[in-house]
Amino acid sequence: MKYNQFCPIAKASELLGDRWTFLIMRELLSGGSRFNELQRGLGNISPSLLTTRLRGLEEAQIIERKKIRSQQGFEYFLTNAGKEALPVIQALGKWGMSWARDQINDDELDVELLMLYLSRSIKPEKLIGNETIIHFKFNDLKKLQDWWIIVENGKIDICLEDPGKEVDVWFNTDVRTMMEVWMGDQSYKSAINSNKLKIVGLASLTRDITKWMRNSDFA
């Protein structure tokens, strides 16, 4: 969209103001680089619209595309211009935490997005040994109820099927409670005391979850 104004806010809005663009920037700044990674973090965006938005960001020199070696497809990386948008995205998120989160509807509780964020929040160097298995059970769901995060030699994977390995930490909760705890709306202690969250596992890991799985940057 063209505003036909020389104002820098208008010019920036022409580049970043389209629907989904800020969320694409969020995913890129969070470490996503491949098309399927970006689409998973964005939820119900169509592949064609994501392609269009990525092409527009590339034309604006906010991102650059690089062929994946020995594979089909591309990876997308922020240019210096894109990286310097980080304070803008952070400020938008902080504003949203203060003024746009009065009520989160049930249809906005995306368990796939939550698990993606939880996996990104894990600090492998703070875990014990070379492999850690974390099991989440969301008792309010009929589908996608069980999730496993597997941390092995610093690599983090999300799994919907039981890996058949001994679980180190087990969470039993509902999606809203886990979202609220991760976002900092309530503490692990308060969620446990209200019987909305149960955590079982190695004492060295359950004693302070935030040491190895940080809360949201906006918490």
Residue 140 lies in a domain: yes
Q: Residue 168: what pLDDT? A: 97
- Straight-line distance from the first to the last Cα atom of the chain, in angstroms, rounded to the nearest whole number: 33
85 and 149 housed in the same domain? no
Domain boundary residue, one of 77, 99, 121: 99
52 and 125 housed in the same domain? no
Which distant-in-sequence residues (6+ apart) come within 8 Å of 8 by Cβ?
Answer: none
pLDDT digits (tens, 9 = 90+) for 125-173: 999 999 999 999 999 999 999 999 999 999 999 999 999 999 999 999 9
Span 70-92, average pLDDT: 92
Q: Residue 5: what pLDDT? A: 92
Q: Residue 73: what pLDDT? A: 86
How confident is the prediction for the chain on average, in pLDDT? 93
Span 74-85, average pLDDT: 95
Neighbours of 193 (CB within 10 A): 10
Domain boundary residue, one of 99, 115, 141: 99
Domain CATH for 78 = 1.10.10.10
- Domain residues for the domain of 139 are 106-211
CA distances (Å), origin 113, targets 71, 178, 201: 26, 12, 24
Of the pLDDT bands very low, low, confident and very high (cuts 50, 70, 90), residue 182 is: very high
Helical H runs in the chain?
A: 8-16, 21-29, 35-42, 47-59, 80-83, 86-99, 111-120, 175-183, 188-193, 203-206
Residue 63 lies in a domain: yes
Residue 206 lies in a domain: yes
Domain boundary residue, one of 83, 99, 115: 99
pLDDT digits (tens, 9 = 90+) for 15-73: 888 899 999 999 999 889 999 999 999 988 999 999 999 999 999 999 999 998 888 88
61 and 142 housed in the same domain? no
Span 176-188, average pLDDT: 96
Residues belonging to the chain = 219
26 and 70 housed in the same domain? yes
